[in-house]
Amino acid sequence: MKRSRLAFGVALICGVFLLETVFAHQKMPSPASPYVWGGLGSVALLAVAYGLWYRQRARRAQEES
């Protein structure tokens, strides 16, 4: 369960950074912004997937106990 929470925390942090870069891009556009967004979005999606996977494993372990 700890790993699940950690993964969801990483996804939340990536989401906050993603929003921050979107708002910063409106003030000072950068040609690298789409790459930053893609990287942050990819990490956030992977973290959510890992979080769901770890949560499922934790639930199975609790049911078996």
Give 14-57 pLDDT, tens digit per residue: 999 999 999 999 999 999 999 999 999 999 999 999 999 999 99
Question: What's the confidence (pLDDT) of residue 2?
Answer: 92
CA distances from residue 3 to 17, 29, 39 in whole angstroms, order as listed: 21, 36, 21
pTM greater than the 0.75 cutoff = yes
Number of structural domains, the chain?
1
Domain around 21: 2-64
Mean pLDDT of 6-20: 96
φ, ψ of residue 7 to 5 degrees: the values are: -65, -40
Which DSSP state fits 31?
T
And the tokens for 48?
């959510």
Alpha carbon distance, N-terminus to C-terminus of the chain: 15
Question: What's the confidence (pLDDT) of residue 65?
Answer: 74
